[in-house]
């Protein structure tokens, strides 16, 4: 694996860290994404821990929550106590690639998904990496997401 140790577990919006859940709810309201409380197909939380390397290296913990609904993919990321960044994308506007099948994986081994397409809060196409652990919850989330895209 790369620099991060990732652990993914299944969760719910109500069980996420309060700050992350509030940021997701605010984003959902701002972009009129509907009632995700009742339409969520699955919610996962990944804790990514980067170990300190070298004299000037810095240890860090990043929390990522990912929510899948029949029409939306919503993800929030927060490092430590910083304000979470929340993004979303309509499933019909994105493509998904397993990071492990990408060319970059050979240079930087890791585990997760590359999301490409148009985010709700963007005007241009883009790509983003969402890290996942190898736990059953991560595999289940990937499978459900791929099924929704078919």
Q: What is the pLDDT of residues 113-132, one digit of tens each?
A: 999 999 998 889 999 999 99
Tell me, what's the pLDDT at 57? 65
- β-bridge mates for residue 130, sequence order: 113
| Residue pLDDT, tens place only, 40-54 | 999 999 999 987 666
Distances (CA, A) of 77 to 7, 11, 24, 55, 125: 14, 15, 10, 27, 20
Neighbours of 121 (CB within 10 A): 13
% of the chain exceeding 90 in pLDDT: 74
60 and 50 Cβ atoms separated by less than 8 Å: yes
Of residues 45 and 80, which shows the higher confidence score?
Answer: 45
Q: Structure pTM? A: 0.90
User: How many C-beta neighbours within 10 Å does residue 83 have?
Assistant: 10
Give the residue extent of every domain in the chain: 4-149
> Top-level CATH class of 4-149?
mainly beta
């Amino acid at each position: 694996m790369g620099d991060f140790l990732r652990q993914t577990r299944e969760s719910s919006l109500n069980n996420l860290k309060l700050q992350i859940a509030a940021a997701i709810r605010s984003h959902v309201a701002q972009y009129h994404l509907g009632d995700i409380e009742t339409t969520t197909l699955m919610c996962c939380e990944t804790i990514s821990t980067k170990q300190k390397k070298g004299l000037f290296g810095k240890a860090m913990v990043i929390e990522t929550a990912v929510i899948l609904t029949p029409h939306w993919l919503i993800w929030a990321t927060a490092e430590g106590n910083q304000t979470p960044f929340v993004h979303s994308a309509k499933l019909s506007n994105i493509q998904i690639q397993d990071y492990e099948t990408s060319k970059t994986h050979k240079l930087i081994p890791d585990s997760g998904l590359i999301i490409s397409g148009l985010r709700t809060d963007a005007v241009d196409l883009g790509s983003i990496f969402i890290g996942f652990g190898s736990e059953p919850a991560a595999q289940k989330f990937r499978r459900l997401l791929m099924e929704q895209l078919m």
